[in-house]
Structure 1
Amino acid sequence: MSLTATTDDLAVLSRRVAELTDRVEIAELCDRYTANLDKNRGSDDWLPSVFTEDAHLTFPMGEYKGLAGLAAFQQMARTTFERTHHISANYAIRLDGDRAEVAAHLTAVHVRRREEPDGHFAIGGHYDAEVVRTPQGWRISRFVFDLVWRAGEPPAGKV
């Protein structure tokens, strides 16, 4: 048995490393989305680090298109809830060159007032997302959330 790698071996290894790198970067993108929902509630500056300019998000309470639409959605969330806690997990990532599909689970707790943490609205479900490789890295171009359960009082006229 030879310890010398062949050109084919190196090509296979290189492709595998690239695939693993893409998977890690896409999972980090999904985590960056939920972390920013909770940590950067006072600003929309983070949106371009997660979404494409023409991103399209679909939730039970409505659809939001483009970065301006996403900013309006975030403003509604900020004025309705003082604090949030989102968890995204169980990523199934299907790579296809510079595009990928992600299926994942999401739970979220929305607290109206810090001094009343028991008065919250919680949800759980799954999402499907399309992501694309951009010069700045992977970004979400489409996001569809499927609500499975909810608990507590939703925002007036929502969900």
Structure 2
Amino acid sequence: MPYDANALSRIADRLEVQDLVDRYLASLDEAAFDDAWARSVFTEGGRFEFPMGGHDGVPGMASFTAAMMGKWRRTHHVAAGHRVEVDGDRARVRGNLIATHLHPDEIPAEHFQVGDRFEGEAVRTDAGWRFTRLALEVVWTRGTPPGRVGIHND
């Protein structure tokens, strides 16, 4: 097999984009959002899409994310099956995600879990890879979603 001088560079790019996904998900569990955080994950015009809403651009991304994640006492996000396709300074990524959410109080005792597919686009910037778009698609849920705590369907 002939030596491919670009193979190592392509592997490094794929790993850096995979790391971008993992850093973003870990930051959700750490719940520390500010403009520096947003710029470490998204381009200035980056878009986040979720079935319950979305946000465009770094300005306001931290407060949008804090409001979204503030519904929970704690969260735990685990991603797998990252598929990264790099084309020069652009990349597409997709994979699977299981997110466990703990309600603000102990009732209900049951956690809310979501199985998602994620997909997005990233670009290489002077500061490293950043999302131009990241979208989550809910595949399944289990437990009581936010806003439904204490509601009984008798």
Question: Residues 53, 145 of structure 1: CA spacing in aligned structure 2 closer, same or farther, 3 A cutoff?
Answer: same
Aligned partners of 1:60, 1:43: CA distance in 2, in Å? 21
Asked whether 1:73 is paired with 2:64, we answer yes
Equivalent residues in 2 for 1:3-152 (5 A)? 9=3, 12-13=4-5, 15-39=6-30, 41-44=31-34, 45-113=36-104, 115=106, 118-152=109-143
More helix by share: 1
8 Å contact 1:128–1:145 — kept in the other structure? yes
CA RMSD of aligned residues (A): 2.0
The one-letter code of the counterpart of 1:98 is D
Secondary structure in structure 2 of the residue aligned to 1:156: coil
Conserved? CA contact 1:83–1:114, under 8 Å: no
Instruction: Give the TM-score normalised by the residue count of structure 2.
Output: 0.85
Deviations 1:86-141 (A, max 9, x none): 11111111111000000110110111236558342210121111000000000111
What is the match of residue 145 of structure 2? 154
Runs of 5+ unmatched residues, structure 2: 149-154
Equivalent position amino acid for 1:133 in 2:
R
Identity of matched residues, %: 39
Contact 1:103 1:128 in 2 (8 A): yes
The letter of the residue matching 2:47 is H
Cα distance in 2 between the residues matched to 1:60 and 1:49: 23
Deviation string 1:22-79 (CA, Å, 9 cap, x unpaired) is 011111111101111102x143242211111111111110121112342232221343
In structure 1, what residue type is equivalent to 2:116?
G
Summarize the Cα distance change of 1:69–1:121 in structure 2 as closer, same or farther, 3 Å threshold.
farther
Tell me, yes or no, if the aligned pair for 2:33 and 2:63 is still in contact at 8 Å.
Answer: no
Unaligned runs of 5+ in 1: 1-7
* Aligned amino acid, residue 115 of structure 2: G
> Are 2:81 and 2:96, in contact at CA under 8 Å, matched by a contact in 1?
yes
Moved over 4 A (4+): 114-117
**TM-score scaled by length of structure 1:** 0.83
